[in-house]
Amino acid sequence: MAQAVLNLSRLFTTARATLAPGYLDDQAHAAAYRAYFLPVNLSKVQVLLDELPRDNVAGEAGRPMTVLDLGCGPGTGSLALLDWLWYRNPERAKSLSVLAADSSPGPLQETKKLWDAYCQEVGIASTGLRCLGGNLEHPHKGDLGKQIAKGGPYDLIIMANCLNELFVTAFDPPAERAAVVGQLLPFLAPHGTIMIVEPALRQTARALHQVRNHLLKQGRCTVYSPCLHEGACPALDHPDDWCHEERPWQASPAIAAIDQKVGFIKDALKFSYLLLRTDGRTIVPRSPQTFRVVSELRELKGDTRAWLCNELGRLEIGRLDRAASATNAALEVCHRGAIIQLDGVRRKEGSTLERIPAEGTVEIIRSA
Ligand SMILES: C[S@@+](CC[C@H](N)C(=O)[O-])C[C@H]1O[C@@H](n2cnc3c(N)ncnc32)[C@H](O)[C@@H]1O
């Protein structure tokens, strides 16, 4: 098992070019994915479900929540949602309707098996899931296209860790991937969300930033989260920048045991993501003073720094220890992914650094 986790991990990172279609049809890979990658990715999806507006998941009364889980693998997104709903709104969980699709038969069988097992465990009927084979590169084609059209509109479309596997040999993969996402947008319910989760690697995260730029340029959707603006992604301005999340996470004993064998430390959920909508709704009201923290806090000698992002671009802020005050103390507990409001920052002429003075204010509007 540990060896298969290592192999898969290599295929998802340093040996990405050798990732062959159908890799989850391999029994050893499937078992490793189920034991290690599924629980981790499931937690990532649940973190993002927590970010969605309540009415996205509460849905309309009398209508089941309708969901597409594309590139579903062993049903990670579907199971994440089923479990998340079960603990918050069991009636919604009971009526949940999911169409899960993948190009490989193995993961689809696994999805059905795990879904049925979960439903049996909590004592609900397992009729809400349909699994379907199909190629996501052409979501309109064949049975997949027909079923997607027939089953919509969708409250949620989940594309977890699969976008980066599409069009890998294309001339412009991000443009092709954006076109696929664009083809799915018409199937969203008016209050619906497309949730895209990708690995936190520089290559895959930057490709996702490019997908975002293509989609926003076409004006066909807006970003609910994580971005606080609709402009071009400023992380793409510098080849070493990429935007990703790192959320605290407590690994289960089973994951910790695998970690110990393979030498990994899974103490945080690392990923990049996009929550896209067509109703213009945003995670918080936007303003030039409202920023997403896109780095860790860096403690320098006598200075605390962080990178922020909003409609003004990607900018570095710093607060000298001697400028520490009650109004800017919140900076000390800022973390990657938090949304903060800054007032009274100043920039010295010729400097690229925004300084928070003693009279400046830092307020955390939303923790990550
Ligand atoms: C890394 S797994 C992600 C599985 C699951 N969504 C998760 O987050 O754990 C990627 C999945 O995408 C599927 N996939 C890759 N290319 C595909 C394509 N062209 N059409 C449909 N599914 C595809 C793979 O078979 C695999 O199951």
Q: All domains of the chain, ordered by start, with CATH?
A: 2-277 (3.40.50.150), 290-366 (2.40.50.140)
Nearest Cα residue to atom 2 of ligand 1: 73
Q: Hey, which of 8, 25, 99, 103 would you mutate to test ligand 1's pocket, going by the most ligand atoms within 8 Å of its Cβ?
A: 103
**Residue 55 binned pLDDT confidence (cut-offs 50, 70, 90):** confident
Q: Hey, which of 43, 49, 67, 162 would you mutate to test ligand 1's pocket, going by the most ligand atoms within 8 Å of its Cβ?
A: 162
Residue 218, pLDDT above cutoff 80: yes
Nearest Cα residue to atom 15 of ligand 1: 165
- Cα of 71 from ligand 1 centre, angstroms: 4
The larger pLDDT score, comparing residue 55 to residue 27, is at 27
Ligand 1 atom closest to the Cα of residue 104 is 25
CA angle 206, 160, 17 (to 5 degrees): 55
Q: Mean pLDDT, to the nearest integer, of 101-115?
A: 97
Q: What is the pLDDT of residue 195?
A: 98
Q: Mean pLDDT, to the nearest integer, of 9-37?
A: 93
Q: What is the pLDDT of residue 265?
A: 85
Residue 24: name the closest of 47, 36, 14 by CA.
Answer: 36
Residue 198, pLDDT above cutoff 80: yes
Q: What is the pLDDT of residue 351?
A: 84
**Residues whose beta carbon lies within 6 Å of some atom of ligand 1:** 24, 37-38, 41, 71-73, 76-77, 102-104, 107, 135-137, 160-162, 165-166
Residue 283: name the closest of 326, 229, 224 by CA.
Answer: 224
Cβ distance 355 to 319 under 8 Å? yes
Rounded Cα gap, residues 294 and 242, in angstroms = 9
Nearest Cα residue to atom 12 of ligand 1: 71
Ligand 1 atom closest to the Cα of residue 37 is 9
Residue 196: name the closest of 238, 241, 163, 228 by CA.
Answer: 163
Ligand 1 atom closest to the Cα of residue 77 is 6
Burial (0-12, 13-18, 19+ Cβ within 10 Å), 217: exposed
- Cα of 75 from ligand 1 centre, angstroms: 10
Residue 72: name the closest of 51, 42, 43 by CA.
Answer: 42
**Residue 59 binned pLDDT confidence (cut-offs 50, 70, 90):** low
Cβ distance 357 to 327 under 8 Å? no
Q: What is the pLDDT of residues 246-266, one digit of tens each?
A: 999 999 999 999 999 988 888
Bridge-based pairing of strands 290-293 and 245-248 is unpaired
- Cα of 348 from ligand 1 centre, angstroms: 49
- Cα of 276 from ligand 1 centre, angstroms: 20
- Cα of 224 from ligand 1 centre, angstroms: 24
Q: Hey, which of 165, 197, 198, 273 would you mutate to test ligand 1's pocket, going by the most ligand atoms within 8 Å of its Cβ?
A: 165
Q: Mean pLDDT, to the nearest integer, of 88-101?
A: 95
Residue 350, pLDDT above cutoff 90: no
Ligand 1 atom closest to the Cα of residue 45 is 8
The larger pLDDT score, comparing residue 58 to residue 308, is at 308
Q: Mean pLDDT, to the nearest integer, of 28-45?
A: 96
Residue type present at position 333: V
Q: What is the pLDDT of residue 348?
A: 82
Q: What is the pLDDT of residues 136-171, one digit of tens each?
A: 999 999 999 999 999 999 999 999 999 999 999 999
**Residue 62 binned pLDDT confidence (cut-offs 50, 70, 90):** confident
Q: What is the pLDDT of residues 66-85, one digit of tens each?
A: 999 999 999 999 999 999 99
Q: Mean pLDDT, to the nearest integer, of 232-259?
A: 95
Ligand 1 atom closest to the Cα of residue 135 is 20
- Cα of 41 from ligand 1 centre, angstroms: 12
Q: What is the pLDDT of residues 295-331, one digit of tens each?
A: 999 999 999 999 999 999 999 999 999 999 999 999 9
Q: Mean pLDDT, to the nearest integer, of 11-30?
A: 92
Rounded Cα gap, residues 307 and 309, in angstroms = 7
- Cα of 72 from ligand 1 centre, angstroms: 6
Q: What is the pLDDT of residue 57?
A: 74
CB atoms within 10 A of CB 299: 11
- Cα of 104 from ligand 1 centre, angstroms: 8
Residue 231, pLDDT above cutoff 70: yes
Distances in Å between the Cα of 242 and the Cα atoms of 20, 39, 44, 245, 248 are 26, 25, 18, 10, 19
Q: Mean pLDDT, to the nearest integer, of 189-213?
A: 97
- Cα of 222 from ligand 1 centre, angstroms: 25
Percentage of residues of the chain with pLDDT beyond 90? 90
- Cα of 289 from ligand 1 centre, angstroms: 39
Cβ distance 200 to 271 under 8 Å? yes
Rounded Cα gap, residues 92 and 120, in angstroms = 16
